[in-house]
Amino acid sequence: MVISPLRRKVLRDLRRLWAQALAIALVLAAGVATLILGNGAYASLSETRARYYGEFRFADVFADVTRAPLALMAEVRGIAGVLAAEGRIVKLALLDLPDMAEPGTILLVSLPEAGEAGLNQLYLRQGRLPDSQSADEVVVSEGFATAHRLRPGSSLAVVMNGQRRTLRLTGVVLSPEFIYALGPGELMPDPRRFGVAWLPRPGLEAAHDLEGAFSNLVLKLAPGADADRVIEAVDRLTAAYGGAGAIGRADQISHAFLDAELRQLSAMVKILPPVFLLVAAMLVNMTLSRLVTLEREQIGLLKAIGYSGRAIAQHYVEFVLAVAVVGIAIGFAAGAWLGAGLAGLYARFYAFPFLVFARDAGVYGLAALVTAGAAVAGALFAVRAVLTLPPAVAMSPPAPADYRSRMGFALQHLALRQTAVMTVRHLIRWPLRTASGIFGVAMAVAVLVASLWTFGSIERLIDLTFFQAERQDVTVAFAGAEPARAVQAVRQMPGVLLAEPYRSVAARISHRTLSRKVSITGRPAETTLSRVLSPDARPMALPDAGLVLSEALCDALAVRPGDLVTVEFLEGQRRTITLPVSGQSLGYVGLGAAMEISALNRAMHEGALISGVNLMLDKAQGPAFYAAAKAAPKTGFVIVLGRTVQRFRDTLAENITAMISVYVVLAAIIAVGVIYNFARIALSEQGRDLASLRVLGFTKAEVSGILFGELAVIVLLAQPLGWGIGHLIGLGMVTAFSSDLYRVPLVIGREVYAMASLVVCAAALASALAVRRRINRLDMIEVLKTRE
């Protein structure tokens, strides 16, 4: 095979410039990897979910009622657009497990009767489904089974509606309804404390006195049906039966969390890959500009002997494409590897029966195309100038670098050493490249700031939520509303130091065309345990009347304190009233609405009712208290806040640590890529001068200092810029991440900026040391023999 001379030059250039080429390739690879990871994970997650939903008939509309006759189902099925409907019994029960002192919670769901098609079908992992005639057979969700080492044949003690029952496991299952299985009052799935169990109807009917009735409704809609219309119709039909308001998929917890995850992924894809590709294009441009300058005379010669501008441009594009191919290959591998890691995380958080791997050629193809495009764009930009030169001009050496102009002269009045003057003049001489260098390093800082802040943010979220607002050790929620004196019974339980009642009522709050379904919490005006915080994070007393809404809810409804909202209670007498918004509160989890408890009771036209009690416990008496709580017939479920915080912190710490390790590597790649290339180019331009200085008796350290001075200026100037850009990215992330489920506080402490700068400076130092070897090896004699 005959290789054309120009192509041979490509190979030779690659060999000669391998370190710079590799640095660029790595930045490109980071772009490719994040593109593949982001797009791939997005596609994988959304396709897995879609397929799971499709195959297992995930419902479109969900509604809870107190007790509705099964006869109502005929009317429900008659609603226009409803394809299938199922009336189920869904009830919480307490878990009484030998390996857990505190009571866990299990959600019991009735299985469809034989012959019913069934929505939210189960995926059987192990064993078999319960016999429809059996009263004690049950299948449980996989996460829960794993956490407690339950297998078909194991038995499970639960307290259903105050009655203790022992159930027998026949199988382990997954359900599209509980891909993200969040227990009541929890912030993170905790499969130890919360599980889902499916059992035949008769057992549940008997325990809850629901013969011939249902407490939960799931609907599948015909394609193209208007979900809002159906929801309205369902609400009308179920109102008389204690309907708590139907919801669509968007408000179904499991689905909504997956949506939030998908939104974060798409935000990541919008931010990270462009950063890398931009930096890579800049690096290609920087490096190639220098190469082209060095080869200017050769280019002129090639043109003179008849090579077309195109052919010469193609030569440089080939060089860059070769670099891009390496970058893309590394990026593919890294992207696939990181993707597998992320899929592993998903598998732990989300209970999928399978994961559809989006090894979609499209994702890879797109990533390769975009990346190669960025590289080639950077190259053409660099080559353009030389190609337009007439051959004769190109063949003569370029005019010597002109240092006369600009602010160079101002330096004479500063008492700088001449070596420092060299440093500054060289930076000023190439303003575009200097700016690119600063920008590139700033991006590395920014990527770090934008990832490192999450630690502090989570800590603040935890502090505000659990140490300022929800300070109770335990919350005991009753199965239904109880008279206020029920608090006395709880106060009598062992270890209770302080007990404060609360009322929690499902309601729809509307303002103009906006509305949200929330639960309004009634509390005494001043509380010690569960407190409402003002926007400046101080505990606030609840007003005599009117609602205090969280900032998130105020935003969602577009209201401000002083506005009036319509409140439609979805419990009790189901009154609809108008209430003023009397205050705004701080809250990052969910949409919060609070009222003074007796005002809430009055507004509901009910007596002094409470839904549960917040407690401060004497830790030493925990087990005794938990035993009493399990035995109390009114206990619906128990939330142990200490465990919730622990779980929250552990899980997030693990995820964030994994994420931040990736980001630190990515930022280091940018920093090294930019600084190493910058240093090599500066060295290529000034190597002759530096070698001359060595001849004059300057030491290796002094000579390196001139070049390192340039790097130091770049790195220093990049810091504030990087902090600023990082802050902006953080702001964008907060916006992208916030949903009705949670918000993230943007707190970027000084330690975040310091850490980001530290990592980048370390990367800069490493690149500088790599170049130092070349400075030390500068050939003094060589530069004396040749003209520049």
Partner 1 sequence: MASKDETVFHATGLTKVYRSGAHEVQALRGVDFQARKSEFIVILGPSGSGKSTFLNIVGGLDRASGGEVWFRDHQLTALDDRGLTQYRRDHVGFVFQFYNLVPSLTARENVALVTEIARRPMSPDAALALVGLSDRRDHFPAQLSGGEQQRVAIARAIAKNPEVLLCDEPTGALDSATGIKVLEALAEVNRKVGATTLVITHNAAIRDIGDRVLRFADGRIVEETVNATKKRPAEVSW
**Is residue 418 a contact residue for partner 1 (CB under 8 A)?**
yes
Nearer to partner 1, 511 or 694 (CB): 694
Structure tokens at 20: 């710079």
646: number of Cβ within 10 Å? 13
**Smallest distance from the beta carbon of 680 to partner 1, in angstroms?**
19
Give 521's strand partners.
Answer: 504, 594
Stretch that binds partner 1, among 47-55, 402-410, 432-440, 573-581 (CB under 8 A): 402-410
- One residue of 15, 149, 404, 413 binding partner 1 per CB under 8 A: 404
Pairing mode, if any, of strands 137-141 and 163-174? parallel
Gyration radius from the chain CA atoms: 33
- One residue of 98, 696, 750, 777 binding partner 1 per CB under 8 A: 696
**Is residue 780 a contact residue for partner 1 (CB under 8 A)?**
yes
Over the window 660 to 689, marking each residue x when it contacts partner 1 by CB under 8 A and - when it does not, the resulting string is ----------------------------xx
Nearer to partner 1, 64 or 689 (CB): 689
**What is the torsion angle, in degrees rounded to the nearest 10, for the CA atoms of residue 738, residue 740, residue 742 and residue 746?**
30
- One residue of 425, 471, 575, 649 binding partner 1 per CB under 8 A: 425
Listed in sequence order, the residues at least 6 apart from 330 whose beta carbon sits closer than 8 Å to its beta carbon are 25, 26, 29, 32, 33
- One residue of 402, 414, 415, 750 binding partner 1 per CB under 8 A: 402
**Is residue 406 a contact residue for partner 1 (CB under 8 A)?**
no
The rounded distance, in Å, linking the Cα atoms of 434 and 547 is: 56
Nearer to partner 1, 337 or 409 (CB): 409
**Smallest distance from the beta carbon of 689 to partner 1, in angstroms?**
5
- One residue of 401, 432, 514, 758 binding partner 1 per CB under 8 A: 401
- One residue of 241, 307, 381, 403 binding partner 1 per CB under 8 A: 403
**Is residue 361 a contact residue for partner 1 (CB under 8 A)?**
no
125 in helix, strand or coil? strand
Angle CA 397–403–404, to nearest 5: 120
- One residue of 258, 372, 422, 666 binding partner 1 per CB under 8 A: 422
**Is residue 787 a contact residue for partner 1 (CB under 8 A)?**
yes
316: number of Cβ within 10 Å? 25
Nearer to partner 1, 425 or 649 (CB): 425
Nearer to partner 1, 421 or 734 (CB): 421
DSSP at 530: B
Structure tokens at 490: 């709880």
**Smallest distance from the beta carbon of 766 to partner 1, in angstroms?**
24
Angle CA 390–393–394, to nearest 5: 85
The rounded distance, in Å, linking the Cα atoms of 522 and 510 is: 19
* Binding-residue total with partner 1 (CB under 8 A): 34
**Smallest distance from the beta carbon of 453 to partner 1, in angstroms?**
41
Amino acid at 169: L
Nearer to partner 1, 209 or 402 (CB): 402
524: number of Cβ within 10 Å? 15
CA dist 516 to 64, 253, 289, 568, Å?
16, 14, 57, 10
**Is residue 707 a contact residue for partner 1 (CB under 8 A)?**
no
**Is residue 410 a contact residue for partner 1 (CB under 8 A)?**
no
**Is residue 774 a contact residue for partner 1 (CB under 8 A)?**
no
What is the Cβ-side half-sphere exposure of residue 75, based on CA atoms within 13 angstroms?
Answer: 11
**Is residue 125 a contact residue for partner 1 (CB under 8 A)?**
no
563: exposed, middle or buried (C-beta count within 10 Å: 0-12, 13-18, 19+)?
Answer: middle
Binding site for partner 1 (CB under 8 A): 399-404, 417-419, 421-422, 425-426, 429, 688-689, 692-700, 702, 780-781, 783-788
